Amino acid sequence: MADGKVFALGSTQTHCVDALTGRLLWSAPLPGKAPGSSPLVAGGRVFVNSGQLVAYDAATGKELWRQDKAGGSNASPAHWRDASGVELVICNSRNALVAVKPDTGAIVWSTPGGGDSTPAFSGNHLAVQMKTAAIGFAAYEISATAATRKWNHASDPRRTQSSPIIHEGRVYHMEDGEQFCWELAGGKLLWKESVPGEISSPILADGKLFVPINKGNNIQILRAGGEREELGRALVRATWCPSPAIADGRLLLRMKDGIHASHRRPDAAAVRQAEKG
C-alpha cells in the first residue's frame, strides 16, 4: 500500500485499487506465472518478481522495463538505499542474488545463489537464505557496486522460502522446522531451536518476534534479544503459506475465508483516562 493505493498480484495480472473505495484503477499483465511474492512500491514504480523482474509506473500501470536475469517467482524484490542516496532494487532470482537500477533495470551486481527467500537489510548488511546448498544462509556487505559475502552456513533445507529479520546486531531465521539466531557481525550461532514451522516468515514488532508455526495454526511470540525466550503462543488457525503483517497496531493474518485483523491494544494513556472516569 502506498499513496492511498493498494497494489496486489493476481494469477495473471498486477492490480492497483483505491485504498478507500476499492475501485480498480489499473491492471497490467504479469510477465510469467502467478508469483508467490509481494510487489514492491518505491519511487513511483511498482516492482514485481514473476519469472522476470518487471517495473510498472505506479500511477498508470504502464510497463517500464523487464529484467530476465533478476527474475524468480517467490522472493519479493527489496529496496535498498546507501548513505549517499544511491538506490537499488535487490532480488533473489533463479540462480543469483541480483541488484538492478530502479529506473532502467540494468544489472549493477550479481552474486551466486538464488532462491525464494526475500533478503533483509541493516545498513550495508544483507542476509538471505540461498537455495544453493553450498552457500545456505549467508550474510553480505553490500554497496552501490558490489556484494561481498562475509559469512555463511551451508545447508540444504527442504523449504527455503522463509525470509530473515535483522535486529540489533542479530539475524533471526526460521527454516524448515528450525529456528536460528546468529550474530550479524561474524555469523556466530547464538541459539537454535527445533519448532514445527514451514515457509512463512516471522515479523518484528514491539521488541518481539511473531512466528507462524504448526502450519499456521499458532503464532509463537519470542523476545527479540538476549537468550531465546518464548513469551507465549496464540491459536489463530491461519493458512500456512502467507506471512503475517502488522499495521496500525493490529496483527493481520490470512485465513481460509479472507484477511483477519486482531484487536488493537488500547493506548496506555487512554486506558488511564477511562479508569479515572
Among 164, 133, 126, which Cα is nearest to 148's? 126
Amino acid, res. 255: M
Say whether both 16 and 87 belong to one domain.
Answer: yes
pLDDT, one tens digit per residue, over 8-35 is: 999 899 999 999 999 999 999 998 877 7
Label residues 117-142 b or e (16+ Cβ within 10 Å = b): bbbbbbeebbbbbbbbeebbbbbbeb
* pLDDT interval class at 110 (50, 70, 90): very high
Q: Are 74 and 36 in contact (CB under 8 A)?
A: yes
Q: Is residue 142 part of a domain?
A: no
Answer yes or no: is 197 within a domain. Answer: yes
Answer with the one of 58, 83, 116 that is the final residue of a domain: 116
Rounded alpha-carbon distances, angstroms, from residue 167 to 136, 149, 203: 20, 19, 11
Mean pLDDT of 100-117: 96
- Inside any domain, residue 19: yes
C-alpha cell at 174: 526460521
pLDDT (0 to 100) of residue 214: 87
Q: Is the pLDDT of residue 202 over 50?
A: yes
Same domain as 170, residue 109? no
Cell numbers standing for residue 31 = 510477465
**Of 61-70, 237-246, 257-266, minimum mean pLDDT range:** 257-266
Residues 51-70, mean pLDDT to the nearest whole number: 96
What is the tally of structural domains in the chain? 2
268 has pLDDT over 70: no
What's the CATH number where 46 sits?
Answer: 2.40.128.630
Question: Which uninterrupted H or E stretch holds 272?
Answer: helix 268-276
Q: Which of 116, 132, 151 is the last residue of a domain?
A: 116
Contacts of 72 (CB under 8 A, 6+ apart): 37, 49, 51, 91, 92, 93, 94, 114, 115, 116
Please tell me the predicted confidence (pLDDT) of residue 259.
85
Within a domain: residue 148? no
φ, ψ for residue 68 (rounded to 5)? -65, -35
Cβ proximity of 33 and 18 under 8 Å = no
Residue type, 121: F
Query: For residue range 121-137, what is the model confidence (pLDDT) as tens digits?
Result: 999 999 999 998 899 99
- What pLDDT is recorded for position 217? 84
Query: Domain range spanning residue 230?
Result: 164-277
Say how far apart CA 125 and CA 165 lie, in whole Å. Answer: 12
Query: Is residue 127 in some structural domain?
Result: no
Residues 109 and 214 in one domain: no
What are the beta bridge partners of residue 102? none
Note whether 165 and 120 are within 8 A (CB). yes
Give a yes or no: residue 24 inside a domain.
Answer: yes
